[in-house]
Amino acid sequence: MILDLSDDAVLHELWTVQRLAYAVEAEIIGFDGIPPLHESLDDLRASGETFLGIYDEEGLVGAVSYRLDGSTVDICRLVVHPRAHRRGIATRLLDALPGGPQTVSTGTKNEPALRLYRKRGFVEIGEREVAPGVSLTDLARAHR
C-alpha cells in the first residue's frame, strides 16, 4: 500500500521503522553515518520519494521507497522492522515495486541485503567509497 506521508501518524511510524532498520545496518557495516538514520521527520516527508508499506497486527513492519528515472525504478530505501526480520517482508516489498529496470545501493559489508538483492535477480554493477573505509555496492536488474 502507498504510504501517505502527509499523515503525521504514518510519517512517524515510518520514521521509527527506518531508524530501527538503519541502526541494524549501521551495526553490520560499522558505520553510523547512513543519511536516513539521521533524518528528521520533515526531511523524510520532503524526500520526494514514493513509499510502499506493509503492516501486520502491530503496525508498520516494512517500507520501500523509490523514484522513477525515466523507465528505471531507483530504489532509495528498503527498511524492515527488526521484529519482522526473516519473514519475507523485504521480498514482498521488492515485488510490489513498478516493473521495469531497477537500481539499488547498499553497504558493501551488508551481506544480508546483498544476498536478498542477488536472490531477487539483481547483479552488482559497481562499488563506490562514501566515507573512509565505507563503500556502497550498486546493483541493478533488467526487468521484473
Can you give the pTM of this predicted structure? 0.93
CB within 8 Å of 89: residues ≥ 6 apart: 54, 61, 62, 80
Distance between CA atoms of residues 53 and 82, nearest Å: 15
Annotated domain spans of the chain: 8-141
Residue 83 has pLDDT above 90, yes or no: yes
Contact (CB, 8 A) for 57 and 29: no
User: What is 8-141's CATH number?
Assistant: 3.40.630.30
* b/e 103-135 (16+ beta carbons within 10 angstroms → b): bbbbbbbbeebbebbeebebeeeeeeeeeeeeb
Give the pLDDT of residue 131: 87
Residue 144 has pLDDT above 80, yes or no: no
